[in-house]
Structure 1
Amino acid sequence: MMRDFIQNRLLPKVLKPARYLGTELNSIHKDWERVDLKVVFAFPDVYEIGMSHLGLRILYHVVNKRPDTLMERVFAPWVDMEELLRQQNIPLFALESYKPVKEFDIVAFTLQYEMSFTNILNMLDLAGIPVRAGDRDESYPLVIAGGPCAYNPEPLADFIDAFVIGEGEEVFYEVLDVVKTAKQEKLSRTGLLERLAQVQGVYVPRFYDVDYKDDAAIAGIRPNNPNAPAKVTKRLVRNIDAADFPTSPIVPYLEVVHNRIMLEVLRGCSRGCRFCQAGMIYRPVREKSPETLLRQAEELVANTGYDEISLSSLSTADYSCVEETLKKLLDIYSGHGVNVSLPSLRADAFSIELAKEVQRVRRPTLTFAPEAGTQRLRDVINKGVTEEDLMAATGAAFKEGWTAVKLYFMIGLPTETEEDLRGIAELAGKVVALGQRELGAKAGRLKVTVSASSFVPKAHTPFQWEPQNDIDTLKEKQRFLAGLLKNRKIKFNWHDAELSFLEAVFSRGNRKVGRVLEAAWRRGCKFDSWNEQFSYDKWMAAFADVRLTPEAFACRRFGMEEVLPWDHIDAGVGKKFLAKEYETALKGATTLDCRFDRCTGCGVCPNLGVDMDIKGREACGPV
């Protein structure tokens, strides 16, 4: 039996065998013979990262709730396990049943990060599925993909049969119904894809032709099949309160990145940071009611045994009922040793009251993201946070006894100057000085971690036209900043410049960079986001193999009238609005948050027929 062979012969030889067991608490094991459609959720990274992904938990729940379908899981096997699979000629298998991935009806990848793309090709190859969509016939599973990177699907267009644009739980049932009917009718693969193309939010790349001006510039994108729309419009959940949410998620055997309850409090963000793709593609803001959150928290604690609840969203401190909900959760659970934590915080939305509440059980590290070192540049990116906000927030934390804070910044932002880089060091120094004053005798334990990522232009943002700094420039900025951050109370972290450069290539790339992806994979590239696996030299050789210049994608300023690779994907936010925001940015002007001011005209609400859902103080009441 395959399970016995793998568990007895292979797993004792790998570093973390618990990654491949599939028998965790709350995992679902359905009878294959009693369901019509089999789906495997494929996460193109290791188990510990994939099992921290809320989207996996949601879709696993949504699909397995249907009696006629099942969903199992597969993750990218680490290099030790892959070697054994290839040696023993064992195909990639799903965790719950140990069935080969090739035997499922649908293989559904999530696209969370561009540098996981080589793992997608590697997983398909390990499964015995042709990596190119055009080489698959009806005997192979349908390979689909969704997630934030699907908003520029073109680099993966040659490898994925269909992309789902938008929120999966809204559209996935329709996809399942189409595939189930096509299976019963024994439709050809083309017939199945033609039906899928008629589902709003589904993009089938083979039904679109791309004309090029040169390797990096596009002349036009047009449908070549009458079933394919000129633009594919995203799907979204209109009432997040009523949406299915898993309250019996799988509890891993081993430590994962987010080893806690993830309680989603809202979706979307209207702050309008001009570099932030998530803030644009997940609009509009939709909040859950406190009553829903309290009910879900009760079920989650009972069904998992976790001792921490993380209030999850893009901007949790902006939740209109955050203080009341946080206090009630802690009133209920702190006596049982269950902590409630907040993710990265906006300095202008933090208060002493929040500081007091979140440390009731355990004192987590507080993370703030000012992003830029000067007010001028914070206005350019529309961050809406001032130095006074940061000082007030960190001061409140130090007063309440925190001795460690993290500050996130970005280098290489549009219009950045040396003064802006110096501002990062000066701001960090001011936080250290404030901490030493406020902490008194505890000042010896003070630690301020400064992290600097590199700006990567992303699709569907006001900065999508902007070039990325070249690698040498990014490295020089990192060295300059490191030279300024010499205070022993400060720890400085930065992102690999070469990795950020490749991320920009794929975030802005067209279909031609898919050739680079395949060439890099054939040269052995995989797990590119892992330092010990990443090989920049192999990537550069891959570009040479296909005769493409990476700087033409990452470091070129796109023309304002240029056809962008993702122009046929409609995220709801209008291109005219993004262009206006870009022009406003270059003037150093800000745009107010539409939750508290007038409509900014981004287009999401009228284009998608949905409104913001802000519960507000009246809705919160005495929770």
Structure 2
Amino acid sequence: MQNLWPRIEGLLRDAGRDISRPARYLNHEWGCTYKDDADYHFCMIYPDTYELGQPNQAVRILCNVVNAVDGMYAERGYLPAADMIDLMRREGVPAFSLESCAPLHEFDAVGFSLSHELVATNVLEMLDLGRIPLRAADRDESNPLIVAGGPCAFNAEPFSAFFDVFLLGEGEESLPELLVLHREMKQAGASRTEFLRAASHLEGCYVPSLYDVLDKDEAQQTGAWVRPKYEDVPANIVKRIWKDFATSPAWEPTVVPFAELVHDRLNVEILRGCTRGCRFCQAGMMYRPVRERSADNIVSAVQRGLAETGYDEVSLTSLSSTDHSQIEEILRRLNRGLDGKGISVSIPSQRLDSFGVEMAELVAGGKRGGLTFAPEAGTQRLRDVINKGVCEEDLFGAID
């Protein structure tokens, strides 16, 4: 694969004053992974700028699980800022990965994390800048496999023309499975079409080209908007659930960036899923069932993560961290272990009840962390409609 770094370095040096935050495009951050002996190359892209994408836990997790497979190398990729995109187009430089600075179009597969709907145009920009045909129907054997996952993959049809494969649900197992199958079939000389047909049989894998989109009348008659073109292609796609989450290590190898990030701290995922059932919450439905890691697992992960990264703040992340059955024990142990070290502990927005307030008092180390209490809506009627189960008295009581 080409190494574009000499050209990128030249752009940053010659136009450095005109390019904002050039550290976005540098390589060799602390904690990067390099695999010189890999025969299969995958680039995991967060379709936004580095400071937004680097703290994303999905990118970190999926790169780690792919790199754990012998012979496979996962790199990171981010959308350059508008000023850099203009310069790259003017100079004829394609989109590139971060670790090896290789052009996107030379990878075996490229994955996108679709975290919200507004990244749709960023995906197209990245594909075009990477010299990859935008539409899946226009790609041939010389182009990389284009894969999507994340929250927006659950509503795949608006994106369907641009992706070869969607992975629905959690990707810790499905992404390596898909890429291993792709590598094996490519090495065996299988065509792109043959691979996509085989991939459709993997649980959680949706291949849009193997389905017809129905019109409104047909959809009303059949109760579905898409129909398989072939009998062996599944009519229903079932999301993947990583059943080993609870027993897996809470510590994930982490890259320490050169540039300041939007969420510039150590993140440790303590819980996946939520039982609250708030009616506005897509994630609460997507990541069910609830699975939680043990207090020992979490505390050891925090201690190791702080030692290996040098961060002075740690966030215990989940959809509702105070719902963890051992959250009080976890916070008390962390406070004892971090006492006097100048390290703060934070958790996402907290419940507006007495337990949430009690936990807020424990969110302290050598430094006081931030606290967030969410009113959720401006009126009690609307809070009831969305099933929040809190009132203004809870909010003001929490503040007091």
Smaller-chain TM-score bracket: over 0.9
Question: Secondary structure, in 3 states, of the residue corresponding to 2:374?
Answer: strand
Question: Secondary structure, in 3 states, of the residue corresponding to 2:161?
Answer: coil
Question: Secondary structure, in 3 states, of the residue corresponding to 1:72?
Answer: strand
TM-score by length of 1: 0.61
Could you say which residue in structure 2 is the equivalent of 1:5? Answer: 7
Which amino acid in structure 1 is aligned with residue 117 of structure 2?
Answer: E
Q: CA deviation at 1:232?
A: 0.4
Which residue of 93, 96, 101 maps to 1:93?
96
Could you say which residue in structure 2 is the equivalent of 1:353? Answer: 358
What does residue range 236-255 of structure 1 map to in structure 2 within 5 Å? Answer: 236-243=241-248, 245-255=250-260
Distance 1:377 1:329, change over 3 A: same
Could you say which residue in structure 2 is the equivalent of 1:307? Answer: 312
Question: Secondary structure, in 3 states, of the residue corresponding to 2:372?
Answer: strand
Which amino acid in structure 1 is aligned with residue 330 of structure 2?
Answer: T
Which amino acid in structure 1 is aligned with residue 235 of structure 2?
Answer: A
Q: CA deviation at 1:184?
A: 1.0
What does residue range 264-343 of structure 1 map to in structure 2 within 5 Å? Answer: 264-343=269-348
CA displacement, residues 332-376 of structure 1 (integer Å, 9 cap, x when unaligned): 113221111111112126444323221343333322222123333
The question of whether the paired residues in 2 share the 8 Å contact of 1:346 and 1:370 is answered with: no
Q: CA deviation at 1:244?
A: 5.5
The question of whether the paired residues in 2 share the 8 Å contact of 1:57 and 1:246 is answered with: no
Matched, 1:186 2:189: yes
The question of whether the paired residues in 1 share the 8 Å contact of 2:250 and 2:293 is answered with: no
Which amino acid in structure 1 is aligned with residue 242 of structure 2?
Answer: V
Q: What CA distance in whole angstroms lies between the structure 1 residues aligned with 2:269 and 2:349?
A: 14
Q: What CA distance in whole angstroms lies between the structure 2 residues aligned with 1:219 and 1:229?
A: 13
Which residue of 164, 170, 177 maps to 1:161?
164
Could you say which residue in structure 2 is the equivalent of 1:70? Answer: 73
Which residue of 131, 138, 151 maps to 2:154?
151
Could you say which residue in structure 2 is the equivalent of 1:573? Answer: none
Q: What CA distance in whole angstroms lies between the structure 2 residues aligned with 1:20 and 1:225?
A: 44
Q: What CA distance in whole angstroms lies between the structure 2 residues aligned with 1:87 and 1:246?
A: 42
Q: CA deviation at 1:222?
A: 0.7
Distance 1:224 1:20, change over 3 A: same
Structure of greater Rg:
1
Matched, 1:134 2:137: yes
Which amino acid in structure 1 is aligned with residue 257 of structure 2?
Answer: P
Q: What CA distance in whole angstroms lies between the structure 1 residues aligned with 2:153 and 2:4?
A: 34
Could you say which residue in structure 2 is the equivalent of 1:365? Answer: 370
Which amino acid in structure 2 is aligned with residue 97 of structure 1?
Answer: S
Could you say which residue in structure 2 is the equivalent of 1:495? Answer: none
Q: What CA distance in whole angstroms lies between the structure 1 residues aligned with 2:322 and 2:72?
A: 37
Distance 1:244 1:89, change over 3 A: farther
CA displacement, residues 405-444 of structure 1 (integer Å, 9 cap, x when unaligned): xxxxxxxxxxxxxxxxxxxxxxxxxxxxxxxxxxxxxxxx
TM-score by length of 2: 0.94
Instruction: Structure 1: give runs of 5+ residues left out of the alignment.
Output: 396-623
Matched, 1:105 2:103: no
Could you say which residue in structure 2 is the equivalent of 1:35? Answer: 38
The question of whether the paired residues in 1 share the 8 Å contact of 2:344 and 2:369 is answered with: no
Question: Secondary structure, in 3 states, of the residue corresponding to 1:157?
Answer: helix
Q: What CA distance in whole angstroms lies between the structure 1 residues aligned with 2:375 and 2:128?
A: 42
The question of whether the paired residues in 1 share the 8 Å contact of 2:342 and 2:365 is answered with: no
What does residue range 486-497 of structure 1 map to in structure 2 within 5 Å? Answer: none
Which amino acid in structure 1 is aligned with residue 295 of structure 2?
Answer: P
Which residue of 239, 245, 251 maps to 1:234?
239
Could you say which residue in structure 2 is the equivalent of 1:81? Answer: 84
Which amino acid in structure 2 is aligned with residue 90 of structure 1?
Answer: V
Which amino acid in structure 1 is aligned with residue 35 of structure 2?
Answer: K
Which amino acid in structure 1 is aligned with residue 200 of structure 2?
Answer: A
RMSD over aligned Cα, in angstroms? 1.9
The question of whether the paired residues in 2 share the 8 Å contact of 1:247 and 1:303 is answered with: no
Distance 1:360 1:353, change over 3 A: farther
Q: CA deviation at 1:219?
A: 7.0
Q: What CA distance in whole angstroms lies between the structure 2 residues aligned with 1:123 and 1:213?
A: 33
Could you say which residue in structure 2 is the equivalent of 1:115? Answer: 118
Could you say which residue in structure 2 is the equivalent of 1:259? Answer: 264
Residues paired across the two proteins, number: 393
Q: What CA distance in whole angstroms lies between the structure 1 residues aligned with 2:350 and 2:212?
A: 43
Q: What CA distance in whole angstroms lies between the structure 2 residues aligned with 1:355 and 1:262?
A: 18
The question of whether the paired residues in 1 share the 8 Å contact of 2:114 and 2:151 is answered with: yes
- Larger RCO, structure (CA 8 Å, separation 6 or more): 1
Question: Secondary structure, in 3 states, of the residue corresponding to 1:42?
Answer: strand
Could you say which residue in structure 2 is the equivalent of 1:171? Answer: 174
Q: What CA distance in whole angstroms lies between the structure 1 residues aligned with 2:91 and 2:225?
A: 47
The question of whether the paired residues in 2 share the 8 Å contact of 1:23 and 1:96 is answered with: yes
Which amino acid in structure 2 is aligned with residue 2 of structure 1?
Answer: L
Question: Secondary structure, in 3 states, of the residue corresponding to 1:40?
Answer: strand
Which amino acid in structure 1 is aligned with residue 208 of structure 2?
Answer: P
The question of whether the paired residues in 2 share the 8 Å contact of 1:2 and 1:98 is answered with: yes
Matched, 1:382 2:387: yes
Percent sequence identity over matched residues? 47
Which amino acid in structure 2 is aligned with residue 8 of structure 1?
Answer: G
Distance 1:168 1:220, change over 3 A: closer
Question: Secondary structure, in 3 states, of the residue corresponding to 1:134?
Answer: helix
CA displacement, residues 288-312 of structure 1 (integer Å, 9 cap, x when unaligned): 0001101211211111000011010
Q: What CA distance in whole angstroms lies between the structure 2 residues aligned with 1:58 and 1:10?
A: 30
Could you say which residue in structure 2 is the equivalent of 1:587? Answer: none
Instruction: Structure 2: give runs of 5+ residues left out of the alignment.
Output: none
Question: Secondary structure, in 3 states, of the residue corresponding to 2:279?
Answer: coil
> 4+ residue runs of structure 1 moved beyond 6 angstroms?
216-219
Q: CA deviation at 1:170?
A: 2.5
Q: What CA distance in whole angstroms lies between the structure 1 residues aligned with 2:390 and 2:359?
A: 18
Higher deviation after alignment, 160-169 or 218-227: 218-227
CA displacement, residues 566-618 of structure 1 (integer Å, 9 cap, x when unaligned): xxxxxxxxxxxxxxxxxxxxxxxxxxxxxxxxxxxxxxxxxxxxxxxxxxxxx
Q: What CA distance in whole angstroms lies between the structure 2 residues aligned with 1:235 and 1:369?
A: 30
Distance 1:200 1:390, change over 3 A: same
Could you say which residue in structure 1 is the equivalent of 2:128? Answer: 125
Distance 1:177 1:245, change over 3 A: farther
Distance 1:245 1:115, change over 3 A: same
Q: What CA distance in whole angstroms lies between the structure 2 residues aligned with 1:246 and 1:58?
A: 10
Q: CA deviation at 1:246?
A: 4.7
The question of whether the paired residues in 2 share the 8 Å contact of 1:212 and 1:219 is answered with: no
